[in-house]
Copies of this chain bind each other. A is one copy, B any other.
Amino acid sequence: MSAVSADEVALQQKLRALRAAPPLHPAGSPEQRVIDLQLQLPPPPKPGGVYRQLVAVGDLLYVAGLGPSQADGSIICGKVSEEPKEGQISIQEGHQAGRALGLTLLSLLKDGTGDLDQVVRVVKVLGFVNCTECFKETYTVINGFSELMRDVFGEAGLGTRSAVGMASLPDNMSAEVEVVLQMRWKY
């Protein structure tokens, strides 16, 4: 007769929870959520240099750093600052830039993979914030991105994350994210 300690049972449960993909949003599939939330996606971003925007290796999809496009295709620019001067933006505007990063990612994924319902989960996000020296609330800016991901993909929209403050970003864009997703490819 085998005996398993309560500690081992607890560890088993902990690891099974850690290793399983989290659930999608209970209110609908990602494609349905984009419709229900009436999200206005910007045009798909174009690469700002000599690189690819999407690379798939097995079930992982690597996404190149992308900027906060708006519905008209323009990009939100300027450093984020607690006390914005000429050419800078406020924390609240930075949070909106973060949300724009999310809309831009959705646009790129739809264009490049055809169907958001192939997303299993967000694995990893590296968030860059173009900000003044000593800016503290990088997380507030990137939360704008993460909140949208959770609205669309549910708990599966949250991966690991870093949110760091940069001396500069390409063309003075306000923020940038670099993302890794896990996919369930239809083909």
Chain A residues with CB under 8 Å of chain B are 10-12, 14-16, 18-19, 48-57, 60, 62-65, 79, 112-115, 121, 123-126, 128-129, 131-140, 142-143, 146-147, 150, 158-172, 176, 178, 180, 182, 185-187
Determine whether the beta carbon of B64 is less than 8 Å from that of A160.
Answer: yes
Contact A65 B19 (CB under 8 A): no
Task: Check A162 against B65 for contact (C-beta < 8 Å).
Answer: yes
Contact of A134 among B18, B52, B54, B168 (CB under 8 A): B168
B residues in contact with A137, CB < 8 Å? 170
Contact A167-B131, Cβ < 8 Å, known A64-B162, A186-B11, A186-B15: yes
Give the shortest distance, in Å, between A102 (CB) and chain B (any CB).
11
Chain B residues with Cβ below 8 Å from A165 are 166-169
Q: Are B12 and A147 in contact (CB under 8 A)?
A: no
A10: chain B residues at CB < 8 Å are: 114
Complex contact A14–B170 (CB within 8 A): no
Of A55, A79, A128, chain B has the most CB atoms within 10 Å of the CB of A55
Contacting pair A172 B134 (CB below 8 A): yes
User: Which of A14, A56, A63, A65 has the most B CB atoms < 10 Å from its CB?
Assistant: A65
What CA separation (Å) do A148 and B60 show in the bound complex? 26
Question: What are 26 A-B pairs at a CB distance below 8 A?
Answer: A12-B187, A14-B113, A15-B187, A19-B56, A19-B185, A48-B139, A49-B142, A50-B147, A51-B160, A52-B158, A52-B160, A55-B121, A55-B124, A57-B60, A57-B182, A65-B163, A65-B164, A126-B162, A126-B178, A135-B167, A136-B168, A136-B172, A137-B170, A165-B166, A165-B167, A165-B169
